[in-house]
Amino acid sequence: MKPSSAPSRGAIVLAFATIYLVWGSTYLGIRVAVETMPPFLMAGARFTISGVLLFGYMLAKGAKWPTARQWMDQAIAGIFLLLGGNAVVSWCELRTPSGITSLVLGAAPVFVVLLDWLRPGGSRPTLGIVVGVAVGIGGIALLFGPNAIPASAKPPVVDIIALFLSSLSWWIGSFYSRHAKSGGLLLMNVSIQMLCGSFCIILTGLILGEGRALNLSLITPQSWLAFTYLVVVGSIIAFTVYAWLLQNSSPSKVSTFAYVNPVVAVFLGWLILGEPMNQRIVLAAAVTIGAVAIITVQKTLSTP
């Protein structure tokens, strides 16, 4: 649904500041929450609560019940965004530090470009994008090369692969959400994404046996506090702002959160949880984030 009038510059700036800072901090929140909560059930409960609150609010405000096409479109977007793009991240943070998680996700656009180039009929990248990809691969090599990350904090290969796939799922869901033709009010669509996505997340957690591992008496106050932050600030506020930005700004501009969030996440992980921070990690982060910036700018310039 297209906005009826152009939003103010102040509203756009505030929205970008929200997804830059809040989503950068959610990596820390997830890491603390999954210390004593099963990851898929935690993520599913997070978005169930958020979705129910938003859905109920919209009905109370007089919004019409969504059509079958709205349910279908937003369910598809929600599964890609929340099951693939978020819950998998929570699962990976059982083993991988929040700052490293954010850097891997931040580097994903580098590999999305490669995949798009290698697929049948794929888009041939411009010289600028090739340079960006090369720089990005260099940043990844710095990050995961010998002695860059302490052995106790080095993510397993399965997490690295899962995080790249998670980032790809997120961008698929974002693209689908932006171009869905079913219309509907923004907040209602967001609530449907949360409800349908959370159902699939919880189902996944139960299939993986997380129900047997859940023990409410063992959940620490820190995990409950982190969970509350994720529900209220990370989901209801930031996710709604992100969906609004997709309708009111270009995808290339919105995607800039991918190279701002890691800076926030790495700093907070180091400051609060004592996660690894050394010159090699800082250099790798700068190179990788710079590469994503180059790719984003080049893709914007090459778009007619």
pLDDT in tens, the chain (304 residues): 444 567 888 888 899 889 888 988 999 999 999 999 999 999 999 999 999 999 999 999 999 999 999 999 999 999 999 999 999 999 999 999 998 888 888 776 666 666 666 666 666 777 887 787 788 778 777 777 777 777 777 888 899 899 989 988 988 888 888 778 888 888 899 999 999 999 999 999 999 999 998 999 999 999 999 999 999 998 889 888 988 887 887 766 777 777 788 888 888 999 998 888 888 888 887 887 787 777 767 765 555 4
Residues 6+ apart with CB under 8 A from 230: 26, 29, 30, 33, 46
Indicate the DSSP class of residue 149: S
User: Which CA distances in Å does 20 have to 14, 24, 138, 150, 165?
Assistant: 10, 6, 25, 27, 22
The dihedral sign for the CA sequence 212, 217, 222, 224 = positive
301 half-sphere exposure, CB direction, 13 A CA radius:
11
Q: Is the pTM of this model over 0.85?
A: no
Q: Which amino acid is residue 17, in one-letter code?
A: A
Structure confidence at residue 303 (pLDDT): 52
- Cβ neighbours of residue 225 closer than 8 Å, sequence gap 6 or more: 32
Closest CA to 188 of 81, 17, 60: 60
The dihedral formed by the CA atoms of 31, 35, 39 and 45, expressed in degrees to the nearest 10: -90
- 268's tokens: 């907070």
Hey, where are the domains in the chain? 9-302
Q: Which residues of 174-206 are buried (b: 16+ CB within 10 A; e: fewer)?
A: bebbeebebebebbbbbbbbbbbbbbbbbebbb
